[in-house]
Amino acid sequence: MNKRYIDYANYNIWANNRLANDLLKQNDELLHKELVASFPTIRATVSHIWIAEKGWLSRLEKNDWDVSDVLNFSGNNKQLFDSWRATSEDFKKFVEKADLEREIKFEHKGEHFSIPTREIIQTVFNHGSFHRGQVVMMMRQLGISDISQTDYIEWVREKERANF
């Protein structure tokens, strides 16, 4: 059962890397340009994806929500992407050894929750896909058209081609 989640972790890393590589080709100021979106800038959107991965990993490993690394981050865009990539790799390492059925119990805003590890993992990866799509739309608003595919099916195709 873990294999499916490990595959999805590998896809998440692949997609994050493709997006980060495309963004690193752009002028740094573009990542700070304000747009109409869920978050005001590309950089803010990427930071939000990183917060979710970092926070949920912290919750899964330590039953804590520690995103201080992200909230206190002041590095340049390359350092941001490198830190985000490192968190995605750490998340994959967690998935490789995770007990997917373990219930994660936590409190948020006065409410108590209990969610299986597998559902949190799935949610984190879906969340990343959702916001990567938003970043692509933001890039298009900025006139950037050379954008790599990050769809799951493209990852599957690329993986299959590599096996031939």
| Annotated binding residues for a divalent metal cation | 48, 127, 131
Alpha carbon 135 to its chain's center: 12
Structure tokens given for 107 = 């409190």
CA dist list (Å): 41 to 17, 31, 80, 84, 116: 19, 6, 14, 16, 33
**β partners of residue 106:** 113
Phi, psi of 111 (to 5 degrees): -105, 150
Binding-site entries: 48, 127, 131
Q: Helix axis angle, 77-97 relative to 42-62, nearest 10°?
A: 30
DSSP per-residue string spanning 42-76: HHHHHHHHHHHHHHHHHHHHHSS---HHHHT----
Distance in angstroms (rounded) separating the CA atoms of residues 87 and 81: 10
